[in-house]
A and B are shown apart, each in its own frame.
Chain A
Amino acid sequence: MAKNTAGVLASFEHIDAACDTIRALRAKGHKHLTVYYSHPNHELEEACGHHTSPVRLFTLIGGLTGVTAAFAMQIWMNRDWPLLVGGKPIVAIPAFVVIGFELTVLIGSLATLFGVFLLSVAMRNKGVIYDGRYSDDRIGVFVPAGGAEAASVERMLRDAGAVEVKHAAA
């Protein structure tokens, strides 16, 4: 793991408290917060105010690649080794639709997974401390701050209702 980021990590039990705090912090200009929570939650997502995930681009490109590849493959292979079967044309588009669809779905989903991996696992903000309870019932807010700033942030977090505050040294 890379060297730790200095900062303050607060744990919340109440969601409203957590959301208010996040909003307040962002208003104060703390941009690089890291918020931990155990399940998809709209309030928190709103509070963090992210714009829509770019993962959908992966899905789109993957799907298009799939359908193109499918038809290209089938048409080329049929013409590369032309054999008459059942009096059908060599390139029989209707018969190719099924595999066209299947590959759309296949490559589309694989691309999506790849996207998520790239965005959220590979590009994970490294060196931020974590607490096991965040996957259970706590919400964690980590504010990168050092020295004097850290003290002020901690005070603010405690006032906001953090049940616990930790300091992370660089």
Chain B
Amino acid sequence: MSDNDQKSVSRRKFLSVLGTTSAGAAVLSGCSTEKVEKLIPYLVQSEDQVPGVATWYASTCTECSAGCGLHVRTREGRAVKLEGNPEHPVNAGRLCAMGQAGLQGLYNPGRIKGPMQKSGGSWRQISWDDAIALLGQQVGAAGAGLAVLSGAPRGSLTGFLADFTAAAGGRLVRWEPFDQTALRLASKRIFGRDEVPTHDFAKAKYIVSFGADFLDTWGPTVENQRQFAESHGFSRDGGMAKHVYFAPRASLTGLNADEWHGIKPGSETALALAMAGVLLGERGIAAPAGAPSVSVEQAAEATGLKAEDISRFAKEFAAAQPSLAVAGGIGSQHAGAVELCAAVHLLNYAAGNLGETVRFGGDLDRGDGQAAFTALQQAMEAGQVKVLLVHEANPVYGTPKAGKFAEALAKVPFKVSTSLYVDETSSQCDLILPGLHALERWDDANPRAGVWGLMQPVMEPVYPNRNSGDVLLAASQKAGGVFAKFAAPSWEAYLKDRWAAMAKARGRDAATFWREALAKGGVYEPEAAVPVKAVVAGAVATEAPAIEGTGDFTLVPYASSLLYDGRGTNKPWLLETPDPVTKITWHAWVELHPDAAAKLDVKEGEILKVTSAHGSIEAPAYIYPGLRPDVVAIPMGFGHTEYGEYAKDRGPNYLDLLGPATGEFVAYLGTKVTVERLREYRKVAKTEGNPRQLGRGIAEAMPVAYAAKGLTVKEAATAAGHPPHEINTEAEVKALEGWREGQVGREDGEGRRLGNYAGEHPLWGMTIDLGKCTGCSACSTACYAENNIPWVGEDQVLRGRELSWIRIERYWEGGTDGEPVEARFVPMPCQHCDNAPCEPVCPVYAAYHTPDGLNGQVYNRCVGTRYCANNCPYKVRYFNWHAYARKAFVAPFELQLNPDVVVRARGVMEKCTFCVHRIRGAQHTAKVTGAPIKDGELTTACAQACPSGAIVFGDLNDPQSRVRQIAQDPRGYHILEDINVRPAITYLAKVVHREPAHAAPGGGEQH
């Protein structure tokens, strides 16, 4: 019964045994087989562990190579929540979905428990001493045959690996699939600097992206998004930057553009050069020597755009100072990527953006690139590599099968992996020395010049594994000889030495420097911008690169911000969080343009066979308007054959369709494919129902001109000649008065005098700025982490039973009869209505209204009539149809559970609580310290995570509060205002650079 659902949660077991006799009996019988433990009271407390009180540690995120700063919330010695470090220059306190899900990497059931050696094709556990001895002996014997394949550069460990391999004359290759080699090479070619520049989206007034998905996977996405929100988010005084996106497919970045143009793959170079040409003309600057010139007409020919449009882009780009053009994303990484990036460099140069929005000096080093990798592979094939150590890399999965890396790997006599999980590569190795998760170990990260992030063990390791640094140091001692010099007693000591050196270089005392760095999470120094001038070395080819193979469609990759290059696929949160663009969960798909689908007569969900010269894959079709009709897009990150139970058998691997990587980088775009119907169907596990608003005014938008005038949504609609929404009656209008003033629910007479309602209370409310929301879904994942929301799995999502308390709705506008397609994202948490329709219908008062305006849900009281969910106009109540917690929190996932939030039993309704536990916690602290809660010191998990800062939470009754100020913005509106339920959430209408697409009339579209 209900209690068994909590059985999996050891912390609660004790409580449930204390419960009612029947509950006690249930649990006792349930636990009878478990071993009896002697309870020891918590007498000796470590000073930083107070039971019931959270301890925060600063650390650094290692989910991707952006190196965001973390604040890790620990309770009773367990990391329970990751939040951004506000002091960190990269993410400034925000964190993306991938970062949030780092916890599921830490507590992943797929983690390896102790070192394993392969003998006779099967694994066997060995002791750490034997493992290290074995490694030392092998490394010692390898000599120049020692090679290390590591992931993207991290920090001191990368440096150590370099020294380590150099000592033996071996080689180190720093490789990751989503590197930015093309951009780096272009910088070298145009500016003579072999590095990746940093981009400043915050300053830019006009952003042109040539397939650089800076909100998905390109660069430090959290930073990009924050800066993008700053420039592109509307403000009455500052106006709003314009964002134009050129790529065959609209990624999340493309959906956030004011104009998306699906130009021919590979034609971006010509376009960029043509724009640069116009600009140089405009500004009367001579083109740098050797810079090719492309006429607007040629560009129009190449791209399929209108010539006048191209000149318009160029002029607008020139007019906005400073502007910013970016390129080099995975989505457009074709054979001509270097040319493209070079052209874009010239464009920025022509627009005078260098040193403004494009800066050199803070090298975002992303590794040695594909060429070095290929060289290593050849050495392996040639048998020159005796010992290969793979660290934080999964090349067997991450490189095209046609590249035959697995075969090369097999040729290496002794292969060692430090992977935490049995992935495609480590499973092929002879020895696995499972490392520690970033939250369990001492380490540092150096994502860019001037930024050094520290990692410290915030908890005991979940499994008896060891920090790879320690292992290598120990192994060096065992190996002796050339390795003997690596004599540091521990990795921590080694690290401290390096930091002591840093301190010395800065004339600081090592101890304090270290302590301060630990407290702040690292050392952050202003980047030293290096002035550059264009020295075009080598010409820039202007013609589009050849697309190899035959077929009607060009294959376009989709690298999602959730699964990234496939490293996210073993984390249920990232699989269950709907893809921001397609809203599909748990499985892969093939994207087709509606016209192409019509031509092939394909319906959504039909299994398609996509075949290239190198292989074929099968996946269900998804009809997506943000796509050229002559391309198909397939998401990357699926198709794992190892990497744990969650990653395995989830659709095909995009890379199976690609040819072997040649040259400096992998041309992810560059293959023609044929698409064939298999006449089999499956229901696509997507969370979207009807993708059209049907004129219901859910996701409002208004042209920037109107917004600047300070028009309200209704006024803007009328001004744009659209039919205004239903006129309210006098009574309704009266009832709606005073919302923005935060006077909601104040005059309830008797209701405000009885019981807890007596006296004055805060009125918690929220504003969500749709002009800033990019739909990245970080808030949703943060909510899962904060509120112990169980993931339900594919079969339940197919029945629409996911429990995502804050869902990101994505509506299409336009897209029909020639209108450009426009996406509108609406985060939809519980609206905490003051006239909440869910409350009065509950027969047992499980849903009721708290004095401070929250829509409370009492799980223990809920009997599960589900009437509240029926009566909720926003459909934000979620029901536990099964004991989901039992499945979702299998050990050791349950260690991540937030002790402040109850784990819901089967058969009860649950929903967004405005993080009531945080509110009560803050109120409690305020009571104890006597200091009233200051505005902004208390916020919800979603608002905390949002990289755009679109969500603001606070007290609507406080006239000074930020939420109150924003709620009074003329753009503010309430969804379904006419039914007068008085939601506590005010949305700010999205602002667009053109007339909002005409919404379909209500009765009109019935899909």
Contact = CB atoms under 8 A, between A and B. Distances in A.
- State if A and B touch, Cβ cutoff 8 Å: yes
Interface of A: 79, 81-91, 95
Given A87-B849, A87-B982, A82 B755 contact: yes
25 contacts: A82-B751, A82-B757, A83-B755, A83-B845, A83-B848, A83-B849, A84-B751, A84-B757, A84-B839, A85-B839, A85-B840, A85-B842, A85-B847, A85-B849, A86-B835, A86-B836, A86-B839, A86-B840, A86-B849, A87-B748, A87-B835, A87-B849, A89-B748, A89-B750, A89-B751
A90 to B, nearest CB: 5
Interface string B46-82: 0000000000000000000000000000000000000
A22 B657 CA distance: 108
A90 B749 CA distance: 9
A90 B754 contact: yes
A77 B837 CA distance: 22
B363 interface: no
B814 interface: no
Nearest to B842: A85
A139 B838 CA distance: 64
Nearest to A95: B840
A88 to B, nearest CB: 6
A104 to B, nearest CB: 21
Interface residues of B, number: 21
A85 B848 CA distance: 5
B745 interface: yes
Interface string B757-789: 100000000000000000000000000000000
Chain A CB within 10 Å, residue with most, of B745, B750, B751, B845: B751
Closest 10 CB pairs of A and B: A85-B839, A82-B754, A86-B840, A87-B835, A84-B849, A85-B840, A83-B848, A82-B755, A86-B839, A84-B751
A83 B838 CA distance: 14
A61 to B, nearest CB: 30
Given A82-B757, A85-B845, A85-B848, A90 B835 contact: no
A127 B845 CA distance: 58
A36 B742 CA distance: 78
Contacts of A86: 835-840, 849
Contacts of B430: none
Contacts of B755: 81-83
A85 B749 CA distance: 14
B831 to A, nearest CB: 13
Contacts of A88: 751, 840
Contacts of A91: 750
Contact of A84 (B838, B842, B848, B982): B848
B834 interface: yes
Given A81-B755, A87-B836, 15 more contacts: A81-B845, A82-B751, A82-B754, A83-B755, A83-B845, A83-B848, A83-B849, A84-B757, A85-B840, A86-B837, A86-B839, A87-B751, A87-B835, A89-B750, A90-B754
A90 B751 contact: yes
A96 B757 CA distance: 22
A79 B849 contact: no
Contacts of B840: 85-86, 88, 95
Interface string B735-754: 00000000001001111001
Contacts of B982: 87
A85 B844 CA distance: 11
A87 B845 contact: no
Contacts of A87: 745, 748, 751, 834-836, 849, 982
Nearest to B757: A84
Contacts of A84: 748, 751, 757, 839, 848-849
Contacts of A82: 751, 754-755, 757
A82 B752 CA distance: 10
Contacts of A89: 748-751
Nearest to A86: B840
Chain B CB within 10 Å, residue with most, of A82, A83, A84, A86: A84
Contacts of A81: 755, 845
Interface in B823-878: 834-840, 842, 845, 847-849
Nearest to B758: A82
Contacts of B847: 85
Nearest to B835: A87
Nearest to B756: A82
Contacts of B751: 82, 84, 87-90
A86 B842 CA distance: 10
Contacts of B757: 82, 84
Nearest to B850: A84
Contacts of B836: 85-87
Contacts of A90: 750-751, 754
A70 to B, nearest CB: 16
Chain B CB within 10 Å, residue with most, of A86, A90, A91, A95: A86
Interface in B694-748: 745, 748
A37 B387 CA distance: 111
Nearest to A85: B839
Interface string B447-463: 00000000000000000
A77 to B, nearest CB: 11
Nearest to B982: A87
Nearest to B752: A84
Nearest to A88: B840
B898 to A, nearest CB: 27
Interface string B168-204: 0000000000000000000000000000000000000
Contacts of A85: 836, 839-840, 842, 845, 847-849
Nearest to B837: A86
B867 to A, nearest CB: 12
A91 B754 CA distance: 11
A110 B834 CA distance: 42
